[in-house]
């Protein structure tokens, strides 16, 4: 079920944000942090969330907006997906620089990490609290059946799926 898979993705993304939150606390306490795990988390969000999760949502949001064009909170999401992708790419660059031994002041990095976590979180909360409940209330069984028929790529999830990809094994173990 399409909407169920969106909620599931959100639960998974929440787990990742929680892990990042723990890293932020460690940084603020001046403890050592495994940057590989931060990189893997961001890589998962780029490879999976941006390629499958957001397009799945966009399909539903666009369909909804064709029928209920005055739904502001839904209309905002296009822009949010775009902004989130940019922020994620920028944050990924910073993490890569650190992994390549570039000097990035710890407090600057903590600030970026904090901003990254809160942007991801507020987007997720907007969808869970304001958008999905409206959609679920309004769209009919026929709408969902139609949307499901338009969504063919149910991909295998490299981190939360049955088969964890090698490059995400360390992250899976840390979760
Ligand atoms: Fe979204
Ligand atoms: Fe989402």
How far apart are the CA of 67 and the centre of ligand 2, in A?
A: 21
Tell whether the torsion through CA atoms of 161, 122, 129 and 22 is positive or negative: positive
Assess whether pLDDT exceeds 70 at residue 57: yes
Contact 156, 165 (CB under 8 A): no
Mean pLDDT of the chain: 92
How far apart are the CA of 82 and the centre of ligand 2, in A?
A: 12
Contact 135, 60 (CB under 8 A): yes
> What does the CA dihedral 137, 141, 142, 144 come to, rounded to 10 degrees?
70
How far apart are the CA of 12 and the centre of ligand 2, in A?
A: 10
Per DSSP, the three-state class of 129 is helix
Of the candidates 32, 86, 27, 62, the one whose C-alpha atom is nearest the C-alpha of residue 135 is 62
CA distances from 14 to 74, 108, 142, 156 (A): 21, 24, 30, 19
pLDDT tens per residue, range 123-142 = 999 999 989 999 999 999 99
pLDDT tens per residue, range 66-110 = 888 777 777 788 889 999 999 999 999 999 999 998 988 999 999
pLDDT at residue 78, as a whole number: 85
Which residue in the block uniquely carries the two structure tokens 């603020």? 28
- Give the domains, in start order, of the chain with CATH numbers: 2-174 (1.20.120.520)
pLDDT at residue 76, as a whole number: 80
- Tell me the CA end-to-end span of the chain in Å, nearest whole number: 25
How far apart are the CA of 75 and the centre of ligand 1, in A?
A: 11
């Amino acid at each position: 079920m399409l909407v169920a898979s969106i909620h599931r993705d959100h639960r998974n993304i929440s787990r990742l944000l929680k892990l990042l939150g723990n890293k932020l606390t460690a940084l603020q306490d001046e403890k050592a942090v495994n940057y590989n795990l931060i990189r893997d988390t961001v890589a998962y969000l780029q490879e999976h969330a941006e390629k499958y999760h957001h397009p799945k949502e966009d399909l539903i949001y666009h369909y909804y907006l064709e029928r209920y064009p005055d739904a502001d909170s839904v209309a905002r999401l296009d822009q949010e997906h775009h902004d989130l992708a940019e922020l994620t790419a920028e944050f990924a660059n910073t993490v890569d620089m650190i992994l390549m031994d570039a000097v990035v002041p710890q407090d600057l990095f903590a600030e970026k990490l904090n901003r990254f976590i809160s942007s991801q979180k507020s987007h997720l909360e907007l969808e869970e609290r304001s958008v999905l409940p409206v959609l679920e209330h309004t769209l009919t069984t026929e709408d969902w059946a139609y949307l499901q028929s338009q969504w063919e790529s149910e991909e295998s999830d490299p981190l939360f799926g049955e088969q964890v990809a090698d490059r995400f094994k360390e992250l899976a173990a840390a979760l």
